[in-house]
Structure 1
Amino acid sequence: MRSEQIRSTFLDYFRGLDHLELPPGPLVPDERDLLFTNAGMVQFKPCFVGASRPPHPRLSTAQPCVRTVDIDKIGVTDRHATTFEMLGNFAFADYFKREAMAYALRLLTEGYGLERDRLWFTVLRGDEESVDLWRGLGVPAERIQPLGPDDNFWSMGVPGPSGPTSEIFYDRGPSIGRDGGPAVDSERFVELWNLVFMQYERGRSDDEILGDLPGRHIDTGLGRDRLAMVLQGVGNVHETDAVLPTLRAVREATGRDDEPSAHRLVADHVRTAVRLIATGVRPGNEGRGYVVRRLLRRAVRRLVLLGVDEPVLGAVADSVTEVPGGVAREVVEREERAFRRTLRAGNRLLDTELARGPLRGETVFKLHDTYGFPVDLTVEIARESGVAVDTDGFERLMREHRERSRAATR
């Protein structure tokens, strides 16, 4: 089943359950504490906290998302990506756990044809109500696993609505990994759908619960790209039909196919950068712009390690199918050329210092201030070489530099 059909099947199903389909929210949200839309519920935050009323008690969306919290896992695991589409159904003081579980289970098995005996379920440890509800839907007790709040409690990562979750996983088989369910192997047992039971107001951390929300709500997210990986029988999310053109463009640009992890990283990072550029974000040194810059620089560095000495990302950017052709090419090419110059200038110093052992704060600062090396890239390169970095010393020098700059402008 192609990705577009996965989306239409989801939206049609929930339309039949009286859900009003709404367009996706912007990828760059009107949310001071949030760089990018990282879940389908972001545009509905005011509804969850009682600040506004939804247009209908039941809603559904297909939401493009960006998350970079797992950036170090890109290309390493089969399931992680920095941009993806989240298919969501939402209920505002309408149905709750029982219905959300039943709707999800029926769609996965009857709508998408997944084998029921390959589905596993997790709940927040201590949430016996959810265990009983899954059991009531015919799920065997041995395929329901209680996990801690790191796995089964959800929030936006900023103050706002939050709640316990129950997640649905698919067993990809013994060729992928160990038996024992998602508590044992999250590659073999890949998470597909997260059911969030929104009922709490979160403070500055998940440990700070300010109280109950005005009502109990449902927020779910089905990862379209992960489901496509399963339904299309491919090895990772980057080989699904929506991403494969970009992965092929990377292979063509490198002229080799023996570095699949590196190819997936480049394809992922360029795809996310292009999507953000298409929304108006430009590479920069702070905030959202820095995320775009970091993604492109990680991609360029990986290409250099693969022996690609000339700029090639323009053609890769053109392969991204989710945005109009050519919309980001010029920006990507300009950023690639600039960073290749930076790499040539700074690599000699960095290689010399890495050979000497731990990187001093002064070296990290010089790489940043003189050669334009982002500190996180320096740390990443050092980590790959097994070398420690004095980030505290770097931060001290940065503070002193800022203070001198402010004093000079007074």
Structure 2
Amino acid sequence: MRDARATLEVPESRDEHRPGARDARQPARYYRPELDVLRFIAFMFVFMTHRTDLAPIDQAQHPWLHAFAQIGVYGVPVFFLLSAFLITELLERERDASGGIDVRAFYVRRILRIWPLYFLVFFGLVLLNRVLPGAGADSPAKWLSFMLFAGNWYITLNGWIEYPVNPMWSLSVEEQFYIVIPCLAMLGRRALVAVNLAVLAVSYAVIVHYARGFTPTSGFSGQWTNSFVHFQFFAGGMLLALVLRGRQPNWDIATRCAVLALAVAAWLVASAVFGIKADVPRSTVPESLAGWPLVLAGAALMLVGVLGMPRRFLPAPLIYLGRISYGLYLTHIFFFWLVYDKFKPELTRACDAVGLGAWRDTIGTLLAFAGTVLLASLLYRTVEMPFLRLKRRFTFVPSRD
């Protein structure tokens, strides 16, 4: 029987360090371009499902396309799991090199990475709301909740708000996770494993509570935006990082494709069979306890399926799109809203005028994607990059974030 360890390799030794600004040994650079590609894949899942919010796919005519659009919501758990995996890996490398974790530097890094673009987009939409009603949050209560990164709880208790703002709920969940992760990482591996197993237990206890009929607001379950439901993906990412300990699969491309296909299959079963939905979940307790682990397993399989993939299989444009995926995520739904809501009559007339009325929704999707990429690229260069350069001053494990 082949040694299972032969399928894993360590790309960079934790014992290779170079001098750093802290007068302590600094870990070797940790950057995995394949994880940028995974970010873009996760974004495309989300992009696909948000397109159907305003331009639905006929389930009778296109059953498989409709089914794939339904699982697009699971791109968000991939973002959560990947974030937890990377941060845990980097914090572990920092602790191995220096003997500790600089909590203050961690918070500074997260602030510089998340806050500038988040607040620019959020308040940009607030201002735009004066010209295009419905573009941004329209009340002080919403402004305050999203400013304090509690926007997901506002939605959980009140229902969805203005469409272009809705995706920002996930940033609130991430920031809540960031509050505690450096403190958890200082506990040590065994304690960290125990804590994450406890987090998984709490997540599924909350899921069972919803499955038994808990609904905080009429017509909206709030399950999808509940932090405790999604903490399972952060726990999964942290546990995966602790298990791999810097190693990565060295599978061939056929095996990786099979793993990714298995991830998608798990998601299709979770959605179509067990009813794990974002807006109107109707799963029973047994269905929830079967379906949510499939969502978690699919996200983990997505990560291990691409982790360690050779650079020759990674198209440079996809790596770049993964780097700007934060901007893509924050802005794409605004373009969908413009195309399919505010300017839908104009789009329809233009397509009919050139005989492309049947392709209206496809053309609208292409326009939304192009606008999103252009704006995200501009924001990456003008807003994100300056703060990323500043962030490096507080970085002890060189990486590309």
TM-score (norm 1): 0.24
Higher radius of gyration, 1 or 2 = 1
Higher helix share: 2
TM-score (norm 2): 0.25
